[in-house]
């Protein structure tokens, strides 16, 4: 089955066609990752891909930015990059988030995604 999901990326207003399994795309020199955060888990881990978003269970409460910090730390550690390279673009107070990661980590990211789609 094939769905058309269009994402508008400011300020460029570019339409990108995505399939349900696409949870990331390249914009300039960054990878934008669509995430659904599930806070309050017993441990932080990737939990598959659903509805075009990478699900991440987070072992932190969603208060005072703790879950966002834990998410950034986990993604950085998984990619082997500094935490300062992970940027939260959208969803500071939402479970639906968009992260930006430098394009230099694309190969590491694709290995993670292959494991989740498995």
Q: How many domains does the chain have?
A: 1
Quote the domain boundaries for residue 112: 22-117
Q: Are 6 and 15 in contact (CB under 8 A)?
A: yes
Q: What is the 3-state secondary structure (H, E, C) of 34-57?
A: EEEEEECCCCCEEEEEECCEEEEE
Ramachandran sector of residue 89 (left: φ over 0; alpha: ψ -120 to 50; beta: rest): alpha
What radius of gyration, in Å, describes the C-alpha atoms of the chain? 14
> In this structure, is residue 61 part of a structural domain?
yes
For 15-30, what is each residue's pLDDT tens digit? 555 544 578 888 999 9
Q: What is the DSSP letter of 61?
A: -
User: Is the pLDDT reported for residue 92 higher than 50?
Assistant: yes
**Could you tell me the CATH number of the domain that includes residue 60?**
3.30.1200.10
The answer to the question of residue 108 being in a domain is yes
Q: At what angle do helices 106-117 and 66-79 cross, to 10 degrees?
A: 100
Please give the mean pLDDT across all residues of the chain. 83
Report strand pairing: 96-102 vs 30-39: antiparallel
Domain presence at residue 45: yes
Residue bearing the bigger pLDDT, 56 or 1: 56
Per residue in 28-76, pLDDT (tens digit) is 999 999 999 999 899 999 998 888 899 999 999 999 999 999 999 999 9
Nearest CA among 93, 62, 57 for reference residue 75: 57
pLDDT of 10 reads: 54
């Amino acid at each position: 089955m094939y769905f058309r999901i269009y994402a508008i990326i400011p300020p460029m207003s570019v339409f990108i066609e995505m399939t349900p399994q696409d949870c990331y795309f390249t914009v300039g020199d960054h990878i934008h990752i669509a995430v659904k955060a599930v806070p309050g888990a017993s441990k932080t881990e990737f939990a598959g891909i659903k509805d075009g978003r990478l699900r991440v269970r987070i072992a932190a409460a969603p208060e005072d930015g703790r879950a966002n910090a834990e998410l950034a730390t986990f993604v950085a550690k998984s990619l082997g990059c500094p935490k300062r390279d992970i940027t939260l673009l959208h969803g500071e107070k939402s479970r639906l988030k968009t992260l930006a990661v430098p394009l230099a980590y694309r190969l590491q990211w694709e290995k993670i995604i292959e494991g989740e789609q498995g």
